[in-house]
Amino acid sequence: MEKYLVVHGPNLNLLGMREPGIYGTMTLQQINEILLAEAAKHNVKLDILQSNNEGEIIDFLHGNRDVDGIIINPAAYSHYSIAIHDAIKAVAIPTVEVHLSNIHSREEFRAKSVTASVCIGQISGFGYYSYILGLYALIQHNRS
User: Is residue 99 annotated as a catalytic residue, yes or no?
Assistant: yes
Across-strand partners of 73?
A: 8
DSSP secondary structure code for residue 119 in this structure: S
User: Are the C-beta atoms of 96 and 116 separated by less than 8 Å?
Assistant: no
79 in a known ligand binding site: yes
The catalytic residue among 8, 85, 99, 131 is 99
101 in a known ligand binding site: yes
The catalytic residue among 23, 77, 128, 131 is 23
- Of 37, 97, 36, 43, residue with least CA distance to 71: 97
73 in a known ligand binding site: yes
100 in a known ligand binding site: yes
Phi-psi region of 129 (alpha: psi -120 to 50; beta: other; left: phi over 0): alpha
User: Is residue 23 annotated as a catalytic residue, yes or no?
Assistant: yes
Active centre residues (catalytic): 23, 99
Binding site, by residue number, is 73, 79, 86, 100-101, 110
Binding site for substrate, by residue number, is 73, 79, 86, 100-101, 110
